[in-house]
Amino acid sequence: MRLIAIDLDGTLLNAESKISAENRAAIKKALISDCIVAICTGRATFDVKALLNGLDIPIIAANGGTVHDFNYKLLSRTLMDRETGQKTAKYLTEQDIYFEVYTDDALLSPYDGKQKLEAELDIVASANPDEDRDTLWQGALTQFKQFGIKPVPDIRKVFESDENIYKLLCFSFDTEKLKKAKADLSANPKLGLTSSGKHIIEILPAESGKGRALREFAKHYGIEKQDIYAIGDSPNDLSMFEEAGHRIAMGNAIDELKHMSMFITKSNDENGVAYFINKLLENEYH
Protein backbone atom coordinates (compact mmCIF):
# COMPACT_ATOMS: atom_id res chain seq x y z
CA MET A 1 0.00 0.00 0.00
CA ARG A 2 1.21 3.49 -0.86
CA LEU A 3 0.53 6.75 0.96
CA ILE A 4 0.31 10.01 -0.98
CA ALA A 5 0.49 13.06 1.31
CA ILE A 6 -0.56 16.31 -0.35
CA ASP A 7 -0.19 19.89 0.83
CA LEU A 8 -3.04 22.30 0.01
CA ASP A 9 -2.06 25.94 -0.64
CA GLY A 10 0.25 26.25 -3.60
CA THR A 11 -0.05 22.50 -4.20
CA LEU A 12 -3.50 20.92 -4.50
CA LEU A 13 -5.25 24.30 -4.56
CA ASN A 14 -4.89 26.57 -7.56
CA ALA A 15 -4.49 30.37 -7.41
CA GLU A 16 -8.23 30.66 -6.76
CA SER A 17 -7.91 28.37 -3.70
CA LYS A 18 -9.91 25.62 -5.42
CA ILE A 19 -9.35 21.94 -6.18
CA SER A 20 -9.53 21.49 -9.94
CA ALA A 21 -11.61 18.77 -11.55
CA GLU A 22 -8.38 17.18 -12.81
CA ASN A 23 -6.84 17.00 -9.34
CA ARG A 24 -10.06 15.66 -7.81
CA ALA A 25 -10.31 12.96 -10.49
CA ALA A 26 -6.68 11.91 -9.96
CA ILE A 27 -7.21 11.54 -6.21
CA LYS A 28 -10.28 9.37 -6.78
CA LYS A 29 -8.28 7.26 -9.23
CA ALA A 30 -5.53 6.78 -6.64
CA LEU A 31 -8.04 5.74 -3.98
CA ILE A 32 -9.21 2.81 -6.10
CA SER A 33 -5.61 1.86 -6.93
CA ASP A 34 -4.50 0.65 -3.49
CA CYS A 35 -3.33 4.09 -2.34
CA ILE A 36 -4.21 6.12 0.71
CA VAL A 37 -4.35 9.82 -0.14
CA ALA A 38 -4.10 12.25 2.78
CA ILE A 39 -4.14 16.02 2.98
CA CYS A 40 -1.22 17.42 5.00
CA THR A 41 -1.75 21.15 5.56
CA GLY A 42 -1.44 24.12 7.84
CA ARG A 43 -5.17 24.82 7.46
CA ALA A 44 -7.73 23.77 10.08
CA THR A 45 -9.68 20.52 9.67
CA PHE A 46 -13.05 22.23 9.23
CA ASP A 47 -11.57 24.49 6.56
CA VAL A 48 -10.11 21.48 4.70
CA LYS A 49 -13.42 19.62 4.98
CA ALA A 50 -15.19 22.52 3.26
CA LEU A 51 -12.58 22.60 0.49
CA LEU A 52 -12.75 18.83 -0.10
CA ASN A 53 -16.51 19.14 -0.58
CA GLY A 54 -17.48 15.52 0.01
CA LEU A 55 -14.14 13.89 -0.82
CA ASP A 56 -13.59 11.55 2.15
CA ILE A 57 -9.85 11.26 2.73
CA PRO A 58 -7.67 11.56 5.87
CA ILE A 59 -6.60 15.03 6.97
CA ILE A 60 -3.45 16.09 8.80
CA ALA A 61 -4.34 19.67 9.71
CA ALA A 62 -2.89 22.67 11.57
CA ASN A 63 0.63 21.48 10.66
CA GLY A 64 0.10 18.22 12.53
CA GLY A 65 -2.10 19.64 15.30
CA THR A 66 -4.89 17.22 14.40
CA VAL A 67 -4.91 13.96 12.47
CA HIS A 68 -8.24 12.68 11.14
CA ASP A 69 -8.77 9.35 9.42
CA PHE A 70 -11.48 8.50 6.90
CA ASN A 71 -14.94 9.73 7.99
CA TYR A 72 -13.10 12.43 10.01
CA LYS A 73 -12.32 10.03 12.85
CA LEU A 74 -9.84 11.78 15.17
CA LEU A 75 -6.63 9.77 15.52
CA SER A 76 -4.50 12.28 17.46
CA ARG A 77 -4.12 15.89 18.48
CA THR A 78 -1.19 18.01 19.64
CA LEU A 79 -2.18 21.03 21.72
CA MET A 80 -0.31 24.23 22.46
CA ASP A 81 0.54 24.80 26.11
CA ARG A 82 -1.92 27.46 27.31
CA GLU A 83 0.64 29.58 29.15
CA THR A 84 3.03 29.47 26.19
CA GLY A 85 0.23 30.48 23.84
CA GLN A 86 -0.80 33.32 26.12
CA LYS A 87 2.74 34.71 26.26
CA THR A 88 3.09 34.40 22.49
CA ALA A 89 -0.20 36.22 21.88
CA LYS A 90 0.87 38.97 24.30
CA TYR A 91 4.17 39.37 22.43
CA LEU A 92 2.49 39.52 18.99
CA THR A 93 -0.03 42.08 20.27
CA GLU A 94 2.74 44.27 21.68
CA GLN A 95 4.60 44.05 18.36
CA ASP A 96 1.39 45.00 16.53
CA ILE A 97 1.47 41.85 14.37
CA TYR A 98 -1.78 40.41 13.01
CA PHE A 99 -2.34 36.82 14.15
CA GLU A 100 -4.99 34.09 14.19
CA VAL A 101 -5.59 31.32 16.72
CA TYR A 102 -6.60 27.86 15.52
CA THR A 103 -9.17 26.05 17.69
CA ASP A 104 -11.48 23.08 17.11
CA ASP A 105 -14.31 25.17 15.69
CA ALA A 106 -12.89 28.45 14.44
CA LEU A 107 -9.97 30.55 13.29
CA LEU A 108 -10.08 33.42 15.74
CA SER A 109 -8.83 36.75 14.44
CA PRO A 110 -8.83 40.35 15.77
CA TYR A 111 -12.03 42.18 14.80
CA ASP A 112 -9.98 45.06 13.37
CA GLY A 113 -7.30 42.83 11.80
CA LYS A 114 -8.25 43.52 8.19
CA GLN A 115 -8.15 47.29 8.67
CA LYS A 116 -4.76 47.10 10.43
CA LEU A 117 -3.30 45.05 7.60
CA GLU A 118 -4.63 47.52 5.03
CA ALA A 119 -2.96 50.38 6.91
CA GLU A 120 0.29 48.39 7.16
CA LEU A 121 0.16 47.65 3.43
CA ASP A 122 -0.21 51.37 2.63
CA ILE A 123 2.99 52.09 4.56
CA VAL A 124 4.95 49.21 3.01
CA ALA A 125 3.71 49.97 -0.52
CA SER A 126 4.69 53.64 -0.18
CA ALA A 127 8.20 52.68 0.91
CA ASN A 128 8.50 50.02 -1.82
CA PRO A 129 6.93 51.42 -5.02
CA ASP A 130 8.21 48.44 -7.07
CA GLU A 131 5.95 46.07 -5.11
CA ASP A 132 2.54 45.37 -6.66
CA ARG A 133 -0.01 46.41 -4.05
CA ASP A 134 -2.85 44.29 -5.45
CA THR A 135 -0.75 41.14 -5.50
CA LEU A 136 0.34 41.72 -1.91
CA TRP A 137 -3.23 42.30 -0.77
CA GLN A 138 -4.43 39.09 -2.44
CA GLY A 139 -2.09 37.22 -0.10
CA ALA A 140 -3.81 38.76 2.91
CA LEU A 141 -7.28 38.12 1.50
CA THR A 142 -6.54 34.39 1.40
CA GLN A 143 -6.49 34.49 5.19
CA PHE A 144 -9.85 36.22 5.44
CA LYS A 145 -11.49 33.85 2.94
CA GLN A 146 -10.78 30.78 5.05
CA PHE A 147 -13.80 28.79 6.19
CA GLY A 148 -14.53 29.29 9.89
CA ILE A 149 -12.71 32.59 10.41
CA LYS A 150 -14.27 34.42 13.36
CA PRO A 151 -13.35 38.00 14.34
CA VAL A 152 -13.30 38.60 18.11
CA PRO A 153 -12.84 41.79 20.22
CA ASP A 154 -9.85 40.47 22.21
CA ILE A 155 -8.19 37.41 20.73
CA ARG A 156 -6.05 36.92 23.85
CA LYS A 157 -9.09 35.91 25.91
CA VAL A 158 -9.20 32.51 24.18
CA PHE A 159 -6.24 31.52 26.35
CA GLU A 160 -8.40 32.06 29.43
CA SER A 161 -11.01 29.59 28.14
CA ASP A 162 -11.00 25.80 27.84
CA GLU A 163 -10.68 25.88 24.02
CA ASN A 164 -8.21 23.48 22.42
CA ILE A 165 -5.49 25.55 20.73
CA TYR A 166 -3.37 24.06 17.96
CA LYS A 167 -1.34 26.91 16.50
CA LEU A 168 -1.02 30.63 15.94
CA LEU A 169 -0.50 32.11 12.51
CA CYS A 170 0.84 35.63 12.08
CA PHE A 171 0.81 37.68 8.91
CA SER A 172 2.60 40.93 8.15
CA PHE A 173 3.65 42.88 5.08
CA ASP A 174 6.57 44.22 7.12
CA THR A 175 9.23 41.56 6.55
CA GLU A 176 11.65 43.15 9.02
CA LYS A 177 9.00 42.97 11.73
CA LEU A 178 8.44 39.29 10.92
CA LYS A 179 12.17 38.61 10.93
CA LYS A 180 12.49 40.06 14.44
CA ALA A 181 9.44 38.10 15.65
CA LYS A 182 10.86 34.88 14.25
CA ALA A 183 14.17 35.46 16.03
CA ASP A 184 12.50 36.33 19.33
CA LEU A 185 10.00 33.45 19.29
CA SER A 186 12.59 30.88 18.20
CA ALA A 187 14.23 31.32 21.59
CA ASN A 188 11.28 29.59 23.26
CA PRO A 189 11.96 25.81 23.40
CA LYS A 190 8.23 25.07 23.68
CA LEU A 191 7.56 26.54 20.24
CA GLY A 192 8.20 25.34 16.71
CA LEU A 193 8.17 27.85 13.86
CA THR A 194 7.55 27.31 10.18
CA SER A 195 6.08 29.19 7.22
CA SER A 196 3.75 28.74 4.28
CA GLY A 197 4.64 32.05 2.62
CA LYS A 198 6.86 35.12 2.65
CA HIS A 199 4.53 37.12 4.90
CA ILE A 200 3.56 34.30 7.28
CA ILE A 201 4.96 32.70 10.42
CA GLU A 202 3.18 29.62 11.75
CA ILE A 203 3.72 29.05 15.47
CA LEU A 204 3.27 25.48 16.71
CA PRO A 205 3.90 23.41 19.81
CA ALA A 206 7.53 22.20 19.55
CA GLU A 207 6.39 18.58 19.30
CA SER A 208 3.99 19.27 16.42
CA GLY A 209 4.70 19.49 12.69
CA LYS A 210 3.68 17.87 9.42
CA GLY A 211 6.57 15.43 9.50
CA ARG A 212 5.85 13.99 12.93
CA ALA A 213 2.15 13.66 12.16
CA LEU A 214 2.82 12.02 8.78
CA ARG A 215 5.19 9.51 10.39
CA GLU A 216 2.60 8.57 13.03
CA PHE A 217 -0.17 8.34 10.44
CA ALA A 218 1.93 6.03 8.26
CA LYS A 219 2.72 3.89 11.30
CA HIS A 220 -1.02 3.61 12.02
CA TYR A 221 -1.46 1.95 8.62
CA GLY A 222 1.80 0.02 8.68
CA ILE A 223 3.20 1.94 5.72
CA GLU A 224 6.98 2.08 5.38
CA LYS A 225 8.90 5.25 4.53
CA GLN A 226 9.74 3.99 1.05
CA ASP A 227 6.02 3.87 0.26
CA ILE A 228 5.29 7.48 1.29
CA TYR A 229 4.96 10.09 -1.48
CA ALA A 230 4.92 13.71 -0.27
CA ILE A 231 3.88 16.57 -2.55
CA GLY A 232 4.45 20.18 -1.51
CA ASP A 233 5.72 23.67 -2.29
CA SER A 234 6.51 25.66 0.88
CA PRO A 235 8.85 25.72 3.91
CA ASN A 236 6.25 24.04 6.12
CA ASP A 237 6.50 21.00 3.83
CA LEU A 238 10.17 20.41 4.66
CA SER A 239 9.46 18.16 7.64
CA MET A 240 6.94 16.21 5.54
CA PHE A 241 9.61 15.66 2.87
CA GLU A 242 12.02 14.35 5.51
CA GLU A 243 9.58 11.57 6.41
CA ALA A 244 8.83 10.53 2.82
CA GLY A 245 10.69 8.04 0.67
CA HIS A 246 9.54 9.95 -2.40
CA ARG A 247 9.59 13.75 -2.44
CA ILE A 248 7.69 15.58 -5.17
CA ALA A 249 8.08 19.35 -5.50
CA MET A 250 5.57 21.50 -7.31
CA GLY A 251 6.76 23.54 -10.29
CA ASN A 252 6.08 26.64 -8.17
CA ALA A 253 7.87 25.26 -5.07
CA ILE A 254 10.67 26.99 -3.20
CA ASP A 255 14.19 26.05 -4.32
CA GLU A 256 14.97 24.21 -1.06
CA LEU A 257 12.16 21.73 -1.70
CA LYS A 258 13.14 21.34 -5.34
CA HIS A 259 16.69 20.48 -4.30
CA MET A 260 15.34 17.80 -1.92
CA SER A 261 12.89 16.39 -4.44
CA MET A 262 13.09 13.29 -6.61
CA PHE A 263 10.55 14.65 -9.09
CA ILE A 264 9.41 18.16 -9.99
CA THR A 265 5.85 18.20 -11.26
CA LYS A 266 3.89 21.01 -12.91
CA SER A 267 2.68 24.07 -10.99
CA ASN A 268 -0.48 24.26 -8.89
CA ASP A 269 -2.20 26.17 -11.71
CA GLU A 270 -1.27 23.40 -14.16
CA ASN A 271 -2.77 20.52 -12.12
CA GLY A 272 0.66 19.44 -10.91
CA VAL A 273 -0.81 17.01 -8.36
CA ALA A 274 -2.85 15.21 -11.01
CA TYR A 275 0.16 15.15 -13.34
CA PHE A 276 2.28 13.32 -10.75
CA ILE A 277 -0.44 10.94 -9.54
CA ASN A 278 -1.20 9.87 -13.11
CA LYS A 279 2.51 9.30 -13.74
CA LEU A 280 2.68 7.18 -10.58
CA LEU A 281 -0.40 5.09 -11.36
CA GLU A 282 0.70 4.53 -14.95
CA ASN A 283 4.14 3.36 -13.75
CA GLU A 284 5.85 6.27 -15.49
CA TYR A 285 7.43 7.60 -12.29
CA HIS A 286 10.79 6.03 -11.44
| Domains delineated in the chain | 2-77+209-281 (3.40.50.1000), 82-205 (3.30.1240.10)
Q: How far apart are CA 78 and CA 56, in angstroms?
A: 22
Percent of the chain scored above 90 by pLDDT?
A: 80
Q: Is residue 78 scored above 80 in pLDDT?
A: yes
- What's the alpha-carbon Rg for the chain, to the nearest Å? 18
Sheet holding 98-102, edge to edge: 149-152, 107-110, 98-102, 167-171, 200-205, 191-194
Q: What is the pLDDT of residues 82-134, one digit of tens each?
A: 999 999 999 999 999 999 999 999 999 998 888 888 888 888 878 777 777 78
> Cβ neighbours of residue 148 under 8 Å, at least 6 residues apart?
44, 46, 47, 50, 105, 106, 107
Q: pLDDT of 175-196, one tens digit each?
A: 899 999 999 999 999 999 998 8
Q: How far apart are the first and last CA of the chain?
A: 17
Model pTM score: 0.91
Average pLDDT across the chain, whole number: 93
78's CB contacts (< 8 A; 6+ apart) are 64, 65, 66, 166, 204, 205, 207, 208, 212, 213
* 192-251 tens-digit pLDDT: 999 888 899 999 999 999 999 999 999 999 999 999 999 999 999 999 999 999 999 999
Task: For residue 129, give Cα distances in angstroms to 121, 133, 141, 176.
Answer: 11, 9, 21, 17
Q: Could you tell me which residue, 154 or 129, shows the higher pLDDT?
A: 154
Q: What is the mean pLDDT of residues 143-168?
A: 89
Q: Does residue 7 have an active-site annotation?
A: yes
246 three-class SS: strand
* pLDDT at site 94: 93
What is residue 13's DSSP assignment?
B
